[in-house]
Amino acid sequence: MKSASLQYANALADVALAQGAAEPTAKQLSEFGAAYATSLELRTFLASPAVTQEQKHAVIEKIIARLGASKIIRNFLFIIADSRRTQLLPEVIATFQEVLRQRQGIAGAEISSAVELSAAQKKEFAATLAKLTGKKIEPRYSLDATLLGGAVVRIGDTIYDGSLRNRLNEMRAQLTAE
């Protein structure tokens, strides 16, 4: 089902970027996703084959009006409901956010360090990673005392391991190999 989510996410990203409404679309879709996630009644209603398309459209229309969402979101949700893919909404929303970030040249970086980094170190880390990847970096920092020192950075599927633990393991491997 992942490919179906990707197709919907790409289609929505195409429309949102073409109309210059990427950020509002992402925000509004997340708001709808939050309402969808918290309401079992809404999930059941939209997934039910016994409910007509007109009834589903009416409910979606009311929710969109409350959220102040755009026609882009309304039409997108109509398509999802009409194709009976509402159970994919959480996955589609997450995939859309990722597709949008990729198209805008933004990469998320998970940075784990042995000690708390200062504001200057965080800024330098982000700048270095931006140069390295050629993308705008959205860093998320966490502490990991098992690193002993240094840091580990994960950007997508790529891991940059500059931890003391990793260096000690490399030295151990070299010494045992000789």
* pLDDT per residue as tens digits for the range 55-111: 999 999 999 999 999 999 999 999 999 999 999 999 999 999 989 988 988 888 899
> Which residues of the chain does CATH 1.10.520 include?
2-102
Mean pLDDT in the chain?
A: 90
pTM of the model: 0.71
Q: Tell me the Ramachandran region of residue 24: left when phi exceeds 0, alpha when psi lies from -120 to 50, beta otherwise.
A: alpha
DSSP state of 86: G
The mean pLDDT value for 153-166 works out to: 85
- The model's pLDDT over 104-143, given as tens digits with 9 standing for 90+, comes to 888 888 999 888 989 999 999 889 989 988 899 989 999 9
Residue 84 is given by DSSP the state: T
Give all strands (DSSP E) within the chain, no chain letters.
106-113, 136-143, 151-155, 158-161
Pick the CATH number of 2-102 from 1.10.520, 1.25.40, 1.10.3470, 1.10.10: 1.10.520
pLDDT at residue number 166: 83
Band of residue 1 on the pLDDT scale cut at 50, 70, 90: very low
Sequence-distant contacts of 22-27: CB under 8 A, at least 24 apart: 22/100, 22/104, 24/70, 25/70, 25/72, 25/73, 26/96, 26/97, 26/100
